[in-house]
Amino acid sequence: MAAATILADDDASGSGLGAVMGAKKVKAITVVRTGKLIPEIHAPERVKALTQHLRKLKPDGSAPYFKWMQQALPAPERLKRQICYGCISGCNRTSYESPEGEKGKLLCTAGDFYKPLARSFYGNSNEVPFEAARLCNRYGIDIMFIQSVARWLQQCHLQGLLTEAEIDLPLSRIGSGEFIEELLRQISFRQDFGQALAEGMAATAGAIGGKARELFTHGAYDKMDRPLTYSPRLYLPNALLYALEFKKQTALLHRIVYTLIPWKYWSDGLPDSPASSGLVQQIMKRYWDFDGDFTSYAGQAQLAKAIQNRVYAQDNLILCDKTWSIVLTGNPDEPMISPDLEAELIQAVTGIKMDTAEFLRTGERVFNLQRALYIREGHRGVAEDTLPDSVFNEPLETEHNNAECLVPGKDGRPVSRKGATLDKPEFEEMRRDYYRISGWDPATGYPTAKILKALELSEVAADLKHRGLIEDG
């Protein structure tokens, strides 16, 4: 099943990793520690100084979300902050304990995905969204996939396209605990309508056809049937960040959003927002070498590639998306964190001399290796670097945390993209520009032997050449 996940303690790895392990008949991966638990640090005093400096600059990242979550739950006293050991600021990671004594993580989509449906069905805040998230974890199914399925089924039911008798699901009770439990059971055991849904929404909607298929294509979903949050129609670099991935890489999408949402609050006149237009332009230039105009397609390919390089490099260090993607500090003396920080930390911890360019190069190397593996396994390059038709044809109506659909335009002035679509010829030109900047073949979307060798992936280039996928160079 494409939406299968794996669980590690109280965390989940989504987007089908469980399906990959299942296909390889791997049930679990065990890591056994040998040697010291804590490795020797090259320059402990420097690490300590950098950590203290960061903690001084970074605001308490958990307090605002925690307060909001308390207001959204029926028993706020059962909610607790769940800040990881050693975190420099905290985030929106919380844990909740149900009246029955079950404890579990509540973080972002895991806490919210079923909440609108449950509130609509019951008419008040309740425990069902928490129980729904725990059920997804127990069954090992991606929450974002189930979010998409539930919304699509609701639309089909409301328009009379699917009935309870036809698919043996309690469609009139969407939002209830009964519905989510039966939906997950059917998908997990491939029973009744779950047999079709286990193959994915695109396949299911296509098999039904007619208006049900139209409702699916009208919606904006990625290649794993997950919602296209942070829409490419609003945030133009996200068009490439979605198109070039098999599944939604939320950390990539957050890099721009975590700066532009505070800017949006600033443009609305909120006095506590740390992100003025001037500061945002400084960040875009210093971090991404981008002029900050999000209404123009110019420069978006370079911006997307710069985001990829940094995020994949940060993933190499197993750095948290919530903390390390937020460059704003809220401190007027030092309003943004230095983009050289990761390279400084690597040197202080390991003693390896590395500047920021070398650090970012490690991210580029990993992304190209991933791309090469995809191609070896059958990825068709430019033919699959696509987006759903809806982003080109359906006007943008609203967006998560940005209902007015505001972005900085030229000189940082707020511009609303409400009603906008993604221009397809501009997208295709942006994609070609990305291939060119990346050293890939613009005709195929494959990395060239030249760039693979430059990234010290000569053996990968030789393998692709042997398979007839790329030419020597």
Q: What is the tens place of the pLDDT at every residue in 345-360?
A: 999 999 999 999 999 9
Which residues make Cβ contacts (< 8 Å) with residue 165, sequence separation at least 6? none
C-beta separation of 80 from 95 below 8 A:
yes
Sign of the CA dihedral running 218, 119, 419, 234: negative
- 113, 133 Cβ separation under 8 angstroms: yes
Q: Are 322 and 411 contained in the same domain? A: yes
What is the number of structural domains in the chain?
A: 2
Task: Give 79's pLDDT tier (boundaries 50, 70, 90).
Answer: confident
Tell me, yes or no, whether 138 lies in a domain: yes
Same domain, 136 and 257: no
Position 452 scores a pLDDT of 97
Neighbours of 324 (CB within 10 A): 20
Residue 355 belongs to domain spanning: 237-466
- Do 322 and 357 fall into the same domain? yes
- Supply φ then ψ for residue 23, to 5 degrees: -65, -30
- Residue at 101 is within a domain: yes
Q: In whole angstroms, what is the distance from residue 432 CA to residue 314 CA?
A: 26
Question: Which of 2-16, 17-31, 152-166, 290-304 bottoms out in mean pLDDT, i.e. has the lowest?
Answer: 2-16
Name the region of 323 (left: φ>0; alpha: ψ -120 to 50; beta: rest): alpha
User: Residue range 21-43: average pLDDT?
Assistant: 80
Shared domain check, 252 and 207? no
The DSSP letter of residue 348 is H
Position 17 in a domain: no
Residue 64 pLDDT level (bands cut at 50, 70, 90):
low
What is the distance between the alpha carbons of residues 250 and 143, in angstroms, rounded to a whole number?
14
* pLDDT value for 76: 81
